[in-house]
């Protein structure tokens, strides 16, 4: 009988700990924006194209530098610079954009012709003081997997319009 009571006490304690430790996966929107806009982000973005129910790598991989500027409570502007690799010898793209937070998404609208607007679900991304990584989607059939790290990029005037 003692063993049964001890076993039930252990189960009750484990159940209480599981319920008490369950965290809400929703991130604070203001903290997310503060982390996103606090500097420049550098790293690789890889492109994938939808093929039925799977994503196929479409041989698109660029080294990017992103900068988000806050202009309102839940929106702002930014710019994106792309290169072939981290040595930044061959520039492959530049675009300015507007961004805004709606519900659980941050939407990015590019002003450059040929750049599809994208969004990412910030609750499914890592956005903190040092890293920004996750998946970004356009409104068609592309997914962009990114892994970026916070830096300070000082050469924007060299590459911008």
pLDDT tens digits, 31-82 = 999 999 989 999 999 999 999 999 999 999 999 999 999 999 999 999 999 9
Instruction: Name, in order, each residue with C-beta under 8 angstroms of 44's C-beta and a sequence gap of 6 or more.
Output: 61, 62, 63, 64, 86, 146, 147, 148
Whether pTM > 0.75 for this model: the answer is: yes
Residue 1's pLDDT is 52
pLDDT tens digits, 94-139 = 999 999 999 999 999 999 999 999 999 999 999 999 999 999 999 9
Please name each of the domains of the chain with its CATH number.
Answer: 29-154 (2.40.128.120)
User: Could you please report the per-residue DSSP string of 15-40?
Assistant: HHHHHHH----PPPHHHHHHHHTSSE
Confidence of residue 159 (pLDDT cuts 50, 70, 90): confident
């Amino acid at each position: 009988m003692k063993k049964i009571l001890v076993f039930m006490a252990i189960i009750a304690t484990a159940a209480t700990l599981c319920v008490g430790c369950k965290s809400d996966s929703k991130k604070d929107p203001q903290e997310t924006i503060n982390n996103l806009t606090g500097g420049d982000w550098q790293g690789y973005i890889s492109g994938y194209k939808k093929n039925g129910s799977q994503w196929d790598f479409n041989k698109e991989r660029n080294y990017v530098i992103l900068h988000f500027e806050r202009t309102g409570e839940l929106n702002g502007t930014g710019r994106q610079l792309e290169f072939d690799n981290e040595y930044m010898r061959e520039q492959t793209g530049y675009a300015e954009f507007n961004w805004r937070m709606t519900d659980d998404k941050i939407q990015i609208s590019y002003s450059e012709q040929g750049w599809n607007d994208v969004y990412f679900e910030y609750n499914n991304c890592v956005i903190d003081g040092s890293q920004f990584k996750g998946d970004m989607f356009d409104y068609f059939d592309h997914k962009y997997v990114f892994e970026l790290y916070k830096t300070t990029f000082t050469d924007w005037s060299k590459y911008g319009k």
